[in-house]
């Protein structure tokens, strides 16, 4: 990605928000989801984003994932102003730099675990034999080697989320965006997923941004950011990290 003359550069942040606002609707119906957010996330951080419903945390995550754009302000990724990119360029940024894990797993029901993990590589145009090798490595990393031929319906909820994590990491993303990844899991499986994300952060240096309502899950992060009414209420190092 190339910068333009209007792009502002940050030397130290992988991700940076500069005065980001997001307004939905117009006039009396306007709703200010974000009210001027300044945010810095460095390479290799593990950040939990918390806040009540309507606080702005999901809007923040959507902008980070290039699924939405700010109304005002700038979102910089590796120094590149994402607002200056075209829709196609933002899609390429998602494809090559970001991995996503969702509460609902979002797996294709009639395809195998291996085929689900391969899917991001299909979009990249990777050859079939290379896709298979990479997908098998990712399944091994999440402890599911030997389960590659099983469909989602043949897997437990915890296993399905492991497949989803394998799909997210198969492209070696710089950033993993995890939106309530334990929301559909019991406490034991939730801990397994969070320990896995923590290991990927420590061992591979993947930057992780976790959105969660659950303080027990946020405790795995190195830093906790709390949103309230469209602003960052607190941004603190986690002194009780698990």
How far apart, in whole angstroms, are the C-alpha atoms of residue 129 and residue 125? 12
pLDDT band at 12 (very low <50, low <70, confident <90, very high): low
How far apart, in whole angstroms, are the C-alpha atoms of residue 99 and residue 93? 10
Which residue, 68, 99, 101, is CA-closest to 178? Answer: 101
* CB 135 within 8 Å of CB 118: yes
Which residue, 96, 106, 221, is CA-closest to 163? Answer: 106
Mind listing the pLDDT tens digit for each residue in 176-225? 999 999 999 999 999 999 999 999 999 999 999 999 999 999 999 999 99
pTM of structure:
0.90
From the centroid of its chain, how far is CA 49?
Answer: 11
pLDDT over threshold 70, residue 1: no
- Residue 7: the pLDDT is 35
Mind listing the pLDDT tens digit for each residue in 111-159? 999 999 999 999 899 999 999 999 999 999 999 999 999 999 999 999 9
How far apart, in whole angstroms, are the C-alpha atoms of residue 75 and residue 59? 13
**Candidate CATH numbers 3.50.50.60, 3.40.50.300, 3.30.1600.10, 3.40.50.720; the one for domain 44-57+88-237:** 3.40.50.300
- The average pLDDT across 156-169 equals 95
From the centroid of its chain, how far is CA 74?
Answer: 19
% the chain with pLDDT above 90: 88
pLDDT over threshold 80, residue 55: yes
Residue 26 CA neighbour count, 13 Å, CB half: 0
Laid out side by side, the sheet with 31-41 consists of 31-41, 15-24, 72-77, 80-81
- Structure-derived torsion over alpha carbons of residues 79, 80, 83, 87, reported in degrees to the nearest 10: -150
**239's tokens:** 């002194």
């Amino acid at each position: 990605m190339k910068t333009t003359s209007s792009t502002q550069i940050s030397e130290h942040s992988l991700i940076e928000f500069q005065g980001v606002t997001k307004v939905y609707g117009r006039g009396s119906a306007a709703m200010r989801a974000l009210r001027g957010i300044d945010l810095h996330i460095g390479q290799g951080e593990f950040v939990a984003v918390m806040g009540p419903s309507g606080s702005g945390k999901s809007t923040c995550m959507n902008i980070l994932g290039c699924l939405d754009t700010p109304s005002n302000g700038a979102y910089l990724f590796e120094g590149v102003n994402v607002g200056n990119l075209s829709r196609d360029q933002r899609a390429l940024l998602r494809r090559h730099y970001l991995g996503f894990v969702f509460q609902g797993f979002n797996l294709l029901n009639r395809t195998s675990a291996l085929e689900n993990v391969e899917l991001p590589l299909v979009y990249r145009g990777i050859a079939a034999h290379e896709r298979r090798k990479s997908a098998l490595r990712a399944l091994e990393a999440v402890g599911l080697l030997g389960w590659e031929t099983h469909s989602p319906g043949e897997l437990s909820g915890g296993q399905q989320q492991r497949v989803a994590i394998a799909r997210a990491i198969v492209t070696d993303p710089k950033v993993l965006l995890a939106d309530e990844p334990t929301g559909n899991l019991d406490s034991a499986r939730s801990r397994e997923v969070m320990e896995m994300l923590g290991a990927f952060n420590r061992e591979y240096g993947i930057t992780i941004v976790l959105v969660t309502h659950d303080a027990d899950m946020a405790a795995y992060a190195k830093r906790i950011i709390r949103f309230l009414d469209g602003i960052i209420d607190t941004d603190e190092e986690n002194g009780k990290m698990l």
